[in-house]
Amino acid sequence: MPQTSTRRPRVRRSGPVNDPLPVYSGRFGVEQAERLLWRAGFGPKPGQAAALAKNGMRAAVLSLTRPAQRTLHGPAPTLQNGQPIAPYDVWGNDVLWWLDRMVRSRAPLIERMTLIWHDWFATSNELVDSQRLMIAQNQTQRSLSLSSFPQMLTAMTIDPAMLIWLSGAGSTKEAPNENYAREMQELFTLGAGNGYSERDVREHARALTGWAYTWNPATGQPQDFHFDATQHDAGVKTIYGQRGRFGWRDSVRLVLEHPDHPRHFVTKLWSYLCPEPLSRRDLRAAERMYAATGKQIRPLVEAMLMHPLVQAGPRMVKPPIVQLAGMLRGIGRYIDTDAWAWESSLIGQTPFYPPNVAGWEEGRWLNTGTWLARFNLAAGVIDEKRELKTAATKKPAPVDPQALTRQALSFWGDPSVSPATRRALASYAKAAAVDAASASWEREQYPVLAVNALRALVVATPDYQTS
């Protein structure tokens, strides 16, 4: 892993109402802007980190959380034969559709937050079996990505894909299904075994009854998701010690009013942005901020992104799909093959197909199996045949290890690497392109081959695998 400074980052604290969390006040240069773009997006495009650094930390964060444009920039996704993708109809094209948004978006934080909500409310097309419903859920999460958590939870509770995934549709007063009631508390709002009982699960399940849908015989797809009052349990329920004839909106309201909810929400949201837990003091401050803003998401995300631990704390392993999107952004390549759909499964994260209702396990992002898959992925992104052909039309690469290293880093948009990593890359360049070359043809060809190898090594380094 790259070495990090042991010096404590400089911080300042504002008033307890407007800015309860500490704010980073150290240097904000290219390296810090680069980290921000990886934590709050999918990495920088060439020159983007340097441009962002000139604005200062606060302006940089606000430019991501309050983007001026949300459009896509660049060519629309195509397949190898030049045909457009069919995200609703062809396997894997849904993945390409979203990966394209990650690569081309002018509002990367919106896409990154959408990825966070997809993991938070993990829903898999393995069971839903409708790419159209999955993409509709994705669009809802995108539109509400920085709104309020009550809005998000309300929307997800009655989202058609979720109603299928956690058996909300078809849950009736005669046979209430507990799946969503349990996961709503265990995963989405309170935390496993925290502040609720099995009775609360059963009573929530009763309150959530009544949702149904019909089948479209022409398409074989579910349609017309609606609330059927005749199938709802209208009886008195007791949830968290409160009695009433609660319905599904009450179920959402009660769990959000639970005193243990703010801590779970803050802790879980923070875990997507930083690997080191908040201090007890900062955790309480974040909870107060969440409550004081009416459970708004944007203010909390902004405060967290300005926190010293995000700006100058320990490094964090990049989620696989984030790294893939970032590699494509770094070299200016767009979606031009369907290979990324199955490649995403090899590196450990296929959008729309989380492993279970708990989402992906970040502890599995980087291990002996997934690292090899990430390394092999680099060859596909680089497109070695294309690069070798391009290199052959240019003047021979300079036979200078430092120059070869700079050339390889430049290919990826000049990502920041530690001095130790730069020395290791230059050492390889010397061994592969200088020391190993004796014949004239070797001195001509080995530097070209070494640069291609160095390009793969750059993205295999700890510096690039983490941010």
C-beta of residue 283 within 8 angstroms of C-beta of residue 132: no
Domain's final residue, options 312, 345, 363? 312
Distance CA 333, CA 382 (A): 9
Looking up tokens 């920041």 gives: 416
Could you tell me if residue 244 is inside a domain? Answer: yes
The answer on pLDDT for 392 being more than 80 is no
Could you tell me if residue 152 is inside a domain? Answer: yes
- The predicted structure's pLDDT at residue 364: 85
- The predicted structure's pLDDT at residue 410: 94
Q: In this structure, what are the phi and psi dihedrals at residue 450, rounded to the nearest 5 degrees?
A: -65, -40
The answer on pLDDT for 447 being more than 90 is no
C-beta of residue 382 within 8 angstroms of C-beta of residue 452: yes
* pLDDT tens for each residue of 193-214: 999 999 999 999 999 999 999 9
* pLDDT tens for each residue of 230-268: 999 999 999 999 999 999 999 999 999 999 999 999 999
Report the share of the chain in percent with pLDDT over 70: 93
Q: Please tell me the total count of domains within the chain.
A: 2
For residue 226, list its beta bridge partners: 212
Domain's final residue, options 312, 331, 357? 312
- Domain match, 285 and 396 both: no
Which residue range is the domain that position 435 belongs to? 383-465
Q: How confident is the model at residue 395 (pLDDT cuts 50, 70, 90)?
A: low
The answer on pLDDT for 41 being more than 80 is yes
- Domain match, 303 and 418 both: no
**324-358 burial string, b = 16+ CB within 10 Å, else e?**
bbbbbbbbebbbbebbbbebbebbbbbbbbbeebe
Q: Tell me the whole-structure pTM to 2 decimals.
A: 0.92
C-beta of residue 11 within 8 angstroms of C-beta of residue 21: no
The answer on pLDDT for 389 being more than 50 is no
Return the SS3 of 255. Answer: helix
Could you tell me if residue 78 is inside a domain? Answer: no
- The predicted structure's pLDDT at residue 358: 97
Could you tell me if residue 345 is inside a domain? Answer: no
Q: How confident is the model at residue 398 (pLDDT cuts 50, 70, 90)?
A: low
Could you tell me if residue 304 is inside a domain? Answer: yes
List Cα–Cα distances, 95 to 133, 142, 188, 325, 351, in angstroms: 14, 15, 24, 12, 6
Could you tell me if residue 157 is inside a domain? Answer: yes
Mean of pLDDT over the chain: 91
What average pLDDT does the segment 120-139 reach? 98
* pLDDT tens for each residue of 136-163: 999 999 999 999 999 999 999 999 999 9
The answer on pLDDT for 131 being more than 80 is yes
Looking up tokens 């070869």 gives: 404
